[in-house]
Amino acid sequence: MEFQQNLDHEIVRNERFEKVADQLKPTLHRENVEVARLVEVEKDEGKIHGWGVREIDSGAALEDKVLGKGDSIILDFNDHLVGYLKLDVKPVGSPPDAPLHLKLTFGEMPVEVAEPFSNYKGRLSSSWLQEEIIHVDVLPQVLEFSRRYSFRYLKLEVLDTSPKYKVSFTKAVVETVTSADKEKLVPAEYKDNELAEIERISNKTLLDCMQDVFEDGPKRDRRLWLGDLHLQAQANYVSFQNNDLVKRNLYQFAAVPNQHGQVSANLFIAPTLIPDDTFLYDYSLLFTSTLHDYYEATGDKETLVDLWPTALRQVELGIERLDENNIVIDDETWWSFIDWQGDLNKQAPSQAILLFVLRKAIALAEALEKKAEQEKLAEALERITQATVEHLWDEEQGFFISGSDRQVSWASQVWMVLAGVLEKEDNQQLLKRLLKDKEAVGMNTPYMHHHLVEALFISDLKKEALDWIKMYWGGMVRDGADTFWELYNPEDKEFSPYGDHIINSYCHAWSCTPTYLLRKYL
């Protein structure tokens, strides 16, 4: 599936909203972390992507390692970090008579410091691969890197010095940054150690993605996406409770809609607030749901009043895409996200998301005592729900179908359950059939797996929900996750929609939700 560039959008900037967002810019919490140990990578087919690491020395031995031309060393900081590197380097031997030519490679996973980036063949820009090549003219030197990196492993390669001298690295420190306040995280008690570890890693994932905004991934794309924000905000309410950051991000989206009032799928924050030219049906609708969740968590009526017109407009635009049968119009462009699944037809899950968001919008209209809008939305909900059952429910199969090929997918069933199209008992039976189905188009991201688990919980399938968390997020833990990943298919662990797993993000916002799911439903 190709990305679509939309050139027919004009941005209508709301300067007041932008000013409110600027005033909510968070304070970043900083902490220094020193290298823990030195490691080597080794081929291991039992490990994800075929690479593991083994310790060769403690971090205290760093200064003892003397490196000349062609030598390299790998530093392990023992956990995923997001921040700025400071590296102390000194010459060994004769006075330096030529610059140090140094290459640094940063990796969230062992594969990134094991396989050369020159082999990369993916669709996304190779500039996202984390490396620096520098010349150091004066030694000794304290090297301070201005670019923020996201990594656990750091490979240092001496490309050249001169025949007269070598170098050693006497100290390696990372100043980590996050807008999450660890002091606000109230520990949860679990008798199940596996669930406790899954939640710990969930919170770490969220913490590393909380920067000036809720980033989708600190390695790549490092910006604010609405689908990620929708889930990050829910996880935040039960963990770090930086609710002003959610408020800031909502105002940022509302500040830069296009001429139709639609909010962009994602935003660039620097050098100024810039909306991307990608507009997605489901993501725009989720602005309304995110505002609903924010109001429910905070009771902030002033923000609700401000942003209600933007939220309502997303629903109106969603309804405008319906055909004469009140079914969402499908097409071949990248018009709705749902999941990174190339075979997935988006019509039915997008229809369900419209219904899901309509319910949230009705609740907001009720909170604002806007009776006319509430009644109009309620009428739309009833009409579109009836059409959904009439045109998208296949009684013979016992599943919702999508598109002209009448596709059955996990995404369609899950979102229809979340949308409340059927009664609770019927939803439960639908999910039980789905869990046994081997033919339905599957799921590839923690984003979609989150929605499945929530659907199981609200359908009183608690055991199945917990089993799925242990299978899916627990699978990432067993495969070596320090933070949870952008993509994970237990049946195809090399999967990447970008053509190469080395570009995948291994700390990704939409995977942080077990902390929300466990704290809310347990």
Residue 315 lies in a domain: no
Judged against a pLDDT cut of 60, whether residue 6 lies above it is answered with no
Q: Which residue in the block uniquely carries the two structure tokens 């018009």?
A: 335
Q: Which amino acid is at 486?
A: E
What's phi and psi for 379, nearest 5 deg? Answer: -65, -40
The total number of structural domains that make up the chain:
2
Tokens representing residue 99 in the block: 């610059």
Judged against a pLDDT cut of 90, whether residue 285 lies above it is answered with yes
Residue 208 lies in a domain: no
pLDDT digits (tens, 9 = 90+) for 12-51: 999 999 999 999 999 999 999 999 999 999 999 999 999 9
Q: Is residue 61 a contact partner of residue 76, using CB atoms and an 8 Å limit? A: no
Residue 423 lies in a domain: yes
DSSP 8-state class, residue 31 = E
What is the predicted pLDDT for the residue at 60? Answer: 87
The count of C-alpha atoms lying within 13 angstroms of the C-alpha of 49, restricted to the half-sphere facing its C-beta, is 25
pLDDT digits (tens, 9 = 90+) for 173-217: 999 999 999 999 998 999 999 999 999 999 999 999 999 999 999
Domain end, chosen from 178, 195, 230, is at: 178
Say what percent of the chain tops pLDDT 90.
97
Residue 90 lies in a domain: yes
Residue 13 lies in a domain: no
Rounding to the nearest 10 degrees, give the CA dihedral for residues 183, 189, 193, 194: -70
Domain end, chosen from 408, 442, 476, is at: 442
Q: How far is 381 from 391, CA to CA, in rounded Å? A: 15
pLDDT digits (tens, 9 = 90+) for 288-326: 999 999 999 999 999 999 999 999 999 999 999 999 999
Rg of the Cα atoms in the chain: 25
Which residues pair with residue 33 across a beta bridge?
A: 174
pLDDT digits (tens, 9 = 90+) for 84-137: 999 999 999 999 999 999 999 999 999 999 999 999 999 999 999 999 999 999
Helix, strand or coil for residue 42? strand
Domain end, chosen from 161, 178, 195, is at: 178
Residue 461 lies in a domain: no
Helix, strand or coil for residue 426? helix
Residue 114 lies in a domain: yes
What is the predicted pLDDT for the residue at 7? Answer: 54
Closest CA to 285 of 333, 331, 318, 259: 318
The string over 258-268, giving b where at least 16 C-beta atoms fall within 10 Å of a residue's C-beta and e elsewhere, is beebbbbbbbe
**CB neighbour list of residue 437: distance below 8 Å, 6 or more residues apart:** 399, 408
* Domain interval for residue 338: 321-442
Q: Is residue 50 a contact partner of residue 236, using CB atoms and an 8 Å limit? A: no
Neighbouring C-beta atoms of residue 494, cutoff 10 Å: 12
**CB neighbour list of residue 152: distance below 8 Å, 6 or more residues apart:** 76, 77, 78, 79, 80, 81, 107, 108, 109, 482
Residue 473 lies in a domain: no
User: What CATH number did the domain enclosing 39 receive?
Assistant: 2.60.120.260
